[in-house]
Chains A and B, each alone.
Chain A
């Protein structure tokens, strides 16, 4: 039988006893009501409640007792059974009975559980909503014809047609057509994005005005949406370190409460000489108020709502540990290329013979995957330059590249690559000037002689400045960590307003730099590249840009799907909010017990402050209900206004 049904049965059967209790002491019958049959009727009603509504508590309590466990059902079962059994004894010996206590406690506990169940369902709905975003069917090219197939039949490599207003089924690359696409459901980006031939599309987003044909690349569990669902699921079940305390408490809580209840009974009955009945009632109240559900629910429900809500904003928080660490971050360190800057560097100046310098550089960089290399290759192609063949190619980590071209050792790289005297003082002065303009300088030459310079600029993202300002408003220190030259880095840092610059860092030393910064407090690192992975792991909070490499996304604790730097601030805001809510929940759950148990035990009885078992039951139900409600409300609270500028 469902909890809801049990609750209704308990409620209906309790009502006559409630009316009886309210009107009896008045000594007259204002509504002409008195429970017919008196104690016998109470006994009958309560017996039904005990068997039908409270029975499952007793069976569950007994089953766990046999396994040396105890849980909230143990407390409810012992509390109500004690009141019920004593009342039968009292009835036989013609003393006042307490049937209604047992009945009301069962009703209230079930009431709490009914609400709690509903709230928990709504707290955990985030994942279901994400899964439901998935398109059900797709129009796929099969044997020269476009046919509708279920989404599970779409394979990588298929050509998929999307009409205006339809959902894009899976991840892929557009091969024909152009349109604007609403990606808000996956990335949180509120503005529709224009897509044309060669652009990537994400499954579950909505095509708005044009017809698109795209080639499916990722299907099934590999799509971005499936990955997000997996991440969110993991985050929602994860533990926050703050929970360790409650885990410990929960393990010993119920048995300790039982001992306390017996002690309460003994003190009242043996030492203070009250009647058996009142001593028992105190003990029952202690057992009932102590139900530990609120404690157990405090963290998981808030974590569920917090991570679910942030996922909707395109911010994936991987687990509770990250959330807790994000709460007291002092310093935020940024990678430069691709994080603060657009990550698509372009050649702006060439010093020396343009044709000669570009040819040599393009020949050297033809096979390199470095972002600067692609800028040089693009510039060479624009100038219609054919690269020469290079042999003995070597990438010199953090310095540049070197190869043999036309029998000579040619090189391209930064100043660390140069031997003394390789560059003329005039070239060095030129390089200084370019660097002060936030341009990265590549020295190009052969046979230990620099023949020219290529200046490459990677412009800051338009949103970087606002993003850094928001973090400063939060009182955080910002640092840029880059392998680039100090002057270039400083110039970019000044453009976007970053406090400190750590430049000329070799990729392998990024993690060490993070470690040094950690001496002053917790550090968050924002990055996107393969070489950022160690730093992302070392930092207390690793924030990976969603456009970044898979390995970076794997290493980060938070992933920003939208690739918007302003989401760093939003991620911190939602983490702080969620963690605060967890602490608030735990505080209320604990304070309820800490204050409730002594009151129920009758410690303040001399001052006239006591708690009947019925009230204890109501308080207990309210306590877990308030915790879950507070978690659900987390999904609706406003984040700080400054983060809403977007």
Chain B
């Protein structure tokens, strides 16, 4: 019996390390063109989907964040490089304007820096 528990436990450790540390595909989205420029809808639920957003340089961009998750961890979204710290009330869509004048990679994160996303302007 104890041997079985031990093996099951070790197997579980292995599964955890594979699940969280292994290489997995990240959901990526390109912006859709709108009348006002380009926009991407981002769902906030246990993280961000998509987690990688690609924007075109020079076109005014809007990211629409909608938080479906009750976790206080995700109640703010922070773009450190862009000086944006936006509160995301649960269930409400918040528009965030992005300055796309400079190409580059900008990381965003939740208020506690636990969840991350990446914005690519090219």
Let me know if A71 and B114 touch, CB within 8 A: yes
Closest to A304 in B: B85
- Which residues on the B side are within 8 Å of A117 (C-beta)? 72, 75
Chain B, residues 23-57, CB within 8 Å of chain A (1/0): the string is 01001000000000000000001110101000000
- Which residues on the A side are within 8 Å of B45 (C-beta)? 60, 63
Let me know if A71 and B16 touch, CB within 8 A: no
Chain B nearest CB: distance from A586 CB in Å?
A: 13
Q: Is B73 an interface residue (CB 8 A)?
A: yes
Residue of B12, B72, B73, B74 with most partner-chain A CB within 10 A: B72
Stretch at the interface among A42-50, A235-243, A363-371, A429-437: A235-243
Let me know if A233 and B83 touch, CB within 8 A: yes
Q: Is B69 an interface residue (CB 8 A)?
A: yes
Q: Is B78 an interface residue (CB 8 A)?
A: yes
Let me know if B5 and A270 touch, CB within 8 A: yes
How many CB-defined contacts (below 8 Å) exist between A and B?
Answer: 120
For the complex, what is the distance from the CA of A120 to the CA of B75, rounded to whole Å? 11
Closest to A72 in B: B73
A-side interface size class: 35 or more
For the complex, what is the distance from the CA of A120 to the CA of B78, rounded to whole Å? 14
- Which residues on the B side are within 8 Å of A269 (C-beta)? 2, 5
Closest to A231 in B: B83
Let me know if A297 and B49 touch, CB within 8 A: no
Chain A nearest CB: distance from B65 CB in Å?
A: 15
Q: Is A266 an interface residue (CB 8 A)?
A: yes
Chain A, residues 253-284, CB within 8 Å of chain B (1/0): the string is 01100110011011001100000000000000
Let me know if A259 and B85 touch, CB within 8 A: no
Let me know if B71 and A60 touch, CB within 8 A: yes
Q: Is A64 an interface residue (CB 8 A)?
A: yes
Chain B nearest CB: distance from A59 CB in Å?
A: 7
For the complex, what is the distance from the CA of A57 to the CA of B16, rounded to whole Å? 19
Closest to A69 in B: B47
Let me know if A73 and B78 touch, CB within 8 A: no
Among A116, A124, A293, point to the contact of B85 (Cβ < 8 A): A124
Let me know if B9 and A262 touch, CB within 8 A: yes
Let me know if A236 and B112 touch, CB within 8 A: no
- Which residues on the A side are within 8 Å of B22 (C-beta)? 68
Let me know if B47 and A296 touch, CB within 8 A: no
Let me know if A270 and B47 touch, CB within 8 A: no
B-side interface size class: 35 or more
Let me know if B113 and A262 touch, CB within 8 A: no
Chain B nearest CB: distance from A631 CB in Å?
A: 13
Closest to B4 in A: A270
Chain B nearest CB: distance from A380 CB in Å?
A: 46
Given contacts A60-B70, A60-B71, A237-B84, contact A120 B111 (CB under 8 A): yes
Chain B, residues 66-103, CB within 8 Å of chain A (1/0): the string is 00011111110011101111000000000000000000
Let me know if A66 and B85 touch, CB within 8 A: no
Given contacts A73-B73, A234-B83, A255-B16, contact A300 B5 (CB under 8 A): no
Let me know if A67 and B51 touch, CB within 8 A: yes
- Which residues on the B side are within 8 Å of A71 (C-beta)? 71, 73, 114-115
Chain B nearest CB: distance from A112 CB in Å?
A: 10
Let me know if B84 and A66 touch, CB within 8 A: no
Let me know if B114 and A296 touch, CB within 8 A: yes
Chain B nearest CB: distance from A241 CB in Å?
A: 12
Let me know if A270 and B2 touch, CB within 8 A: yes
Chain A, residues 59-82, CB within 8 Å of chain B (1/0): the string is 111111111111111000000000
For the complex, what is the distance from the CA of A68 to the CA of B85, rounded to whole Å? 25
- Which residues on the A side are within 8 Å of B113 (C-beta)? 243, 246-247, 250, 296, 300
Let me know if A64 and B2 touch, CB within 8 A: no
Q: Is A474 an interface residue (CB 8 A)?
A: no
Residue of B13, B21, B115 with most partner-chain A CB within 10 A: B13
Let me know if B115 and A64 touch, CB within 8 A: yes
Among A64, A234, A252, A266, point to the contact of B47 (Cβ < 8 A): A64
Among B6, B17, B49, B69, point to the contact of A266 (Cβ < 8 A): B6
- Which residues on the A side are within 8 Å of B78 (C-beta)? 237, 300
For the complex, what is the distance from the CA of A255 to the CA of B113, rounded to whole Å? 16
Let me know if B72 and A252 touch, CB within 8 A: no
Given A236-B85, A300-B78, 20 more A-B residue pairs with CB atoms under 8 Å apart are A56-B71, A63-B69, A65-B46, A69-B46, A69-B47, A71-B73, A71-B115, A72-B112, A233-B85, A234-B82, A237-B80, A237-B83, A237-B84, A255-B21, A262-B9, A262-B12, A266-B6, A266-B10, A270-B2, A270-B5
For this complex, 12 residue pairs linking A to B, each with C-beta atoms less than 8 Å apart, are A60-B46, A63-B47, A67-B49, A71-B115, A117-B72, A234-B82, A250-B113, A258-B16, A259-B17, A266-B10, A269-B2, A270-B5
Question: B residues within 8 Å of A by Cβ?
Answer: 2, 5-6, 9-10, 12-13, 16-17, 19-22, 24, 27, 45-47, 49, 51, 69-75, 78-80, 82-85, 111-115
List 5 A-B pairs, minimum CB-CB distance, nearest first.
Answer: A63-B46, A234-B83, A64-B46, A56-B70, A296-B112
